[in-house]
Amino acid sequence: MRKLSPLQIERLKYQPKLPSSLAKGINSLELTEGAATESVRDQEQIKALFKNTYGKPVVTFNSTDSSKVSEVRNVGVILSGGQAPGGHNVIAGLYDALKQANSANKLYGFLGGPSGIIDGKYIEFTDEFIDAYRNTGGFDIIGSGRTKLETEEQFQKSLAVCKKLNISAVVIIGGDDSNTNAALLAEWFVKNDAGIQVIGCPKTIDGDLKNEQIEISFGFDTATKTYAELIGNIQRDANSAKKYWHFIKIMGRSASHVALEAALQTQPNITLISEEVEEKKMSLESIINYMSDIIVKRADMGKNFGIAIIPEGLIEFIPEMKSMIANLNDIMASLENDPDFVNATTIREKFDIVENRLDPENAKVYNSLPVLIKGQLLADRDPHGNVQVSKIETEKLLIEMITTRLDELKSQGEYIGKFSAQSHFFGYEGRCAFPSNFDADYCYSLGYNAFALINFGLTGYLSSVRNLTKPASEWIAGGIPLTMMMNMEKRHGEFKPVIQKALVKLDGPVFKALEEHREDWAMNDRYLFPGAVQYFGPSEVCDITTCTLQLERAKELASV
């Protein structure tokens, strides 16, 4: 028998809370439809690609006093993309709703992500199996993967597996790309009269899958609290030793929501926001000068220490770097089968080949980078053909360039301090943590709600639970069409339909909160120490959600 820690035992006992609209039971619901919807951009193109699933209404659920027994349904579930705390509870909520609707219903878990439905690798869930994973972190219940569902062959194989298991609905738990796949699969099933529904659930710790109906993606709450704990620990250490600058890169490729939230929870000396860098067209040199200026001013105060938060995707938002990387991505695609590049015996030879093919200005930028970073930029691309920014050690690039800049200032008599830096990257540490009470409740509700969407015969929808700054009983359950979140973007040199990423809004209340305090935090040590995620105790400690969500909903709440 697997040995469990005391915390594991206690978390398995936790009973997640449901919105009151769902709490009466899955067979006591009524559905209300809103107005027809349209995509966020490129409406005509998206409509043409999703002729059968475009324009559907937003729906909400309410409880009724009537009750009915649902028809027998078999459902398949897929965990797709990177891990996020709470994924197990989505499956648990889905399972409980499914069994509550009709005890003859079955839930199949496809193993290893989307490839499981293509290759027919699966398990059937049982009470005992599900109960061992409730309120736990990770995706190890069935594993995850990044296989894309987009080709005719993949759709045909998925259909054959579903027919074999008599599956009438598939739930895909994933981020923007995974739910784009869900939209494509839903459209194909309807077009081919397959009789199989597809429902998505909004997962990503990056926090960039959201809108008015999807207030937060699951996992963001837990991950940011986990990172904030680690940053707080480092801040306490820095304030004790008083001799190191800590450069902390934090997960979030396309958006800086995680870095921004962690900063609001911990109040570091420097916080870079990728979207601000892009908006202000800040060059790499200007970023180095900005950070160096703070380091110098703190040194003048006798403070040769500090904390800098750096979003993972920063390097792609610096204008000259963004241009160079876009050019490099196209070149790397053409070099995959180039014998000169493939057979190059030294990294220097590869550098030369790349520089000769880059546009002159981009070649100049590439050539100016440290060898370490130049090599990392040539690493294998992600499934979309883009550089894997998590492998680019931006924090080390900044440290090296700041060291050079401070040496220049010291030689000019403008810097008298000592600069010693430590680098960190917080990514995997937050993806599989035990979910916070908020994420445990939210994820369970998303899964339970996903089956409600299935029960009403909907397809091409994303499970939506909102009003999240209120107690769980007041949350609003429903669904939004996946096509509502889509636009056209260039991928692998072609324009394709994808769910639009929600970036940090520089005119929004969350960034404004950082902007208001940034100068004070830079010079004065206002460090906050959040400590570990709380599970037991006063609700104002245990059930509180992120600063981001509270700030974003504050205006709406004030008007109520």
SS3 letters across 143-208: CCECCCCCCHHHHHHHHHHHHHCCEEEEEEEECHHHHHHHHHHHHHHHHCCCCCEEEEEEECCCCC
- Residue 271 Cα distances to 49, 239, 265, 267, 320, angstroms: 41, 17, 12, 9, 21
Rounded CA-CA distance 66/64 in Å is 5
The contacts of residue 186 (CB under 8 Å, 6+ apart) are 53, 197, 198, 459, 460, 482
Residue 334 pLDDT: 85
Residue 252, class by beta-carbon neighbours within 10 Å (0-12 exposed, 13-18 middle, 19+ buried)?
Answer: buried
Domains belonging to the chain, first-starting first, are 6-22+30-60+71-219+435-491 (3.40.50.450), 220-431+508-552 (3.40.50.460)
87 SS3 class: helix
Rounded CA-CA distance 123/142 in Å is 8
Check 96, 176, 177, 206 and give the catalytic one.
206
The pair of structure tokens assigned to 180 is 């784009």
Per the annotation, the verdict on 206 as an active-site residue is: yes
Residue 31 pLDDT: 96
Q: What pairs with residue 495 in β-bridges?
A: 490
Q: Model pTM?
A: 0.94
- DSSP, residue by residue, 33-75: EEEE---SS-HHHHHHH-TTTTTPEEEEEEE-S---PPPP-EE
pLDDT in tens, the chain (560 residues): 578 999 999 999 999 999 999 999 999 999 999 999 999 999 999 999 999 999 999 999 999 988 887 899 999 999 999 999 999 999 999 999 999 999 999 999 999 999 999 999 999 999 999 999 999 999 999 999 999 999 999 999 999 999 999 999 999 999 999 999 999 999 999 999 999 999 999 999 999 999 989 999 999 999 999 999 999 999 999 999 999 999 999 998 889 999 999 999 999 999 999 999 999 999 999 999 999 999 999 999 999 999 999 999 999 999 999 999 989 988 988 888 889 998 998 999 999 999 999 999 999 999 989 888 999 998 877 666 677 777 889 999 999 999 999 999 999 999 999 999 999 999 999 999 999 999 999 999 999 999 999 999 999 999 999 999 999 999 999 999 999 999 999 876 789 999 999 999 999 999 999 999 999 999 999 999 999 999 999 888 898 899 999 999 986 545 43
Contact 105, 115 (CB under 8 A): no
The pair of structure tokens assigned to 456 is 């009403």
Rounded CA-CA distance 483/498 in Å is 9
The pair of structure tokens assigned to 110 is 């496809």
Handedness of CA 132, 137, 145, 337 (dihedral sign): negative
Residue (of 233, 203, 235, 234) closest to 221 by Cα position: 203
Tokens 């509270």: give the residue.
Answer: 550
The helix (H) or strand (E) run that includes residue 407 is: helix 394-411
Contacts by residues 535-540 (CB-CB < 8 Å, ≥ 24 positions apart): 535/7, 535/10, 535/11, 535/14, 535/434, 535/436, 535/437, 536/10
